[in-house]
Amino acid sequence: MEELTQLDELLSCRNDGVGRDVTPCSIVIFGASGDLTSRKLIPALYHLFCGGQLPNPVRIVGVARREKSDESWRHELKEALGRFSRSKGFDEKVWSEFEKLISYCRGDLTDPDSYDALKDQLESFGDPQLSKNLLFYLAVSPSQFAEVVKRLHEHGMVHKDAQEEHWQRVVIEKPFGHDLASAQELNRGITDYLHEKQVFRIDHYLGKETVQNILAFRFSNAIFEGLWNRQSIDHIQITVSEKLGVGTRGGYYEEAGALRDMVQNHLLQVLALVGMEPPGSLDAEAIRDEKVKLLQSIRPLSPEDISKQVVRAQYFGGEIDGESRPAYRSEDKVSPSSNVETFVALKVLIDNWRWSGVPFYLRTGKNLPLSASEIRVQFRPVPNVLFAANPEANVDANSLVLRLQPNEGICLGFNGKVPGNSSRLDPVLMDFRYDTVFGAYTPEAYERLLLEAVAGDSTLFIRRDEVETAWAFVDSIRHAWEGRALSNREFYSAGTWGPEAADQLLSASGHQWVNPKK
């Protein structure tokens, strides 16, 4: 009992993000002119500043190739903040304080002089903490990750064995490699110059409140954790659906596809959190050890399993909410004969004591009827004894739905007697919504992730063995698809829940997708 209370306290402490040990530092963003910087990183830093959560003092330096002054970059960022900040605006007075922390450094990532210029700029701040405690954020093309780290090392800005009083960390955006071999190579390249504990690989899903709540929910509620196993659970569905098509990202998507873009990272991360064993502590390594163990317990898929257990498909034209959508093959920067998948559904089996025989169904796709991410835990049905003879009984198996986004919340489905003289039963729902209990405030994932990286806590980042295990699984599927053109059955209309084969994947085991509700 005492142990549980302690765990609760620790969980809520982590979730509050209070008590972080944040020391003065400079945050250097490589890729300062990119979309990620103006849409996500600067708004996130601005909100952390508003909440008094950034270290004091702190500096933010943007590095990019374009010629810009500090003023013109600040102006651009201010304009973008007005459009993209979660608070839909900003406070002029706070901004004028915040912008004083921001400066720009023109630089070409392949040019050694640029690194000298950056170092000079950091030293010009006149405080050793601001020039030696450094968080580098690599929001650049993946092909440049290893080179930037190497050059930072050569210019004395990152040290593998940092002097104890200073620290340097590198945050790396996704995609981390495009297969196992490239991820391993990148890992080798980076860890020549950095210890693993200095590397923060991003999966922005881990920064989402509701994704963090999966562990809090599982391990602070004895009534659910007691049922979280093969004895009580029939199967689990994880859906991450997106209403948008690939839009302007056709070029990137042609190289990625849904399997690399979503399954390798976000879906497998959610799966790991739903399925992992309780960690020995809330320490980053204890949690990540358990996630890796879960990922390593996924049953490998033979080519024959893949043909039965993995469904891929691509959208053709259709309509969503009265708006017409082009076929994927007609999107900008997409080959008219592309075989890239925009939808994946798969059945995953986990060979461990807890989950043996329980299917986990994962699906994700673009141009689906709505954007929603949720986990549906479908419990086993009651024995067909008591109510079997009652035609009025309408007994559903219990379900628990964790809505990750939107309408963040948790919903428990059970059966109740309809009041009156009949013995009619009906399924009913008990629904918890974050916004009604905690208010509408939901910080952006990047706020939490940046704060954790500044504080040096890597719990919400992907460890080397995690990323490699996920790639090994995804590679086996890619290899089976290689050189195989999409068949007629591997298409779906925009605005539908994917191809028929995705339904058959479940019906083959007597299951059925339950789609998220609007």
Nearer to ligand BG6, 174 or 201 (CB): 174
Least gap, CB of 488 to ligand BG6 (angstroms): 26
Side-chain-side CA neighbours of residue 269 (13 Å)? 25
Least gap, CB of 218 to ligand BG6 (angstroms): 21
The answer to the question of residue 209 lying near ligand BG6 (CB under 6 A) is: no
Looking up tokens 């004395």 gives 156
Q: Which of 153, 178, 204, 266 is catalytic?
A: 266
Looking up tokens 């190497």 gives 150
Nearer to ligand BG6, 261 or 468 (CB): 261
Of 518, 240, 177, 251, the residue nearest 376 (C-alpha)? 240
Nearer to ligand BG6, 256 or 327 (CB): 256
Q: Report the C-alpha gap between 461 and 465 in whole angstroms.
A: 12
Catalytic residue list contains 266: yes
Mapping DSSP onto H, E and C, the string for 228-287 reads: CCCCCEEEEEEEEECCCCCHHHHHHHHHHHHHHHHHHHHHHHHHHHHHCCCCCCCCHHHH
Least gap, CB of 242 to ligand BG6 (angstroms): 5
The answer to the question of residue 242 lying near ligand BG6 (CB under 6 A) is: yes
Residues 156-185 that bind ligand BG6 (CB under 6 A): 174
Per DSSP, the three-state class of 416 is: strand
CA 375 to chain centroid, in Å, comes to: 14
Gap between the terminal Cα atoms of the chain: 40
Q: Report the C-alpha gap between 144 and 165 in whole angstroms.
A: 29
Nearer to ligand BG6, 130 or 372 (CB): 372
Taking CB under 6 A as the rule, which mask of x and - marks residues 349-388 in contact with ligand BG6? Answer: ------------------------x---------------
Nearer to ligand BG6, 85 or 373 (CB): 373
Least gap, CB of 175 to ligand BG6 (angstroms): 8
- Quote the tokens at residue 149: 């780290």
DSSP letter at 140?
A: S
Least gap, CB of 373 to ligand BG6 (angstroms): 6
Least gap, CB of 497 to ligand BG6 (angstroms): 17
The answer to the question of residue 408 lying near ligand BG6 (CB under 6 A) is: no
CA 434 to chain centroid, in Å, comes to: 19
Nearer to ligand BG6, 371 or 493 (CB): 371
Q: Total residues contacting ligand BG6 (rule CB under 6 A)?
A: 4
Residues 254-293 that bind ligand BG6 (CB under 6 A): 261
CB distance 160 to 128 below 8 Å: no
Give the residue at shortest CB distance from ligand BG6.
261
Of 459, 457, 462, the residue nearest 169 (C-alpha)? 457
Residues noted as catalytic: 266
Question: Which residues form the interface with ligand BG6 (CB under 6 A)?
Answer: 174, 242, 261, 373
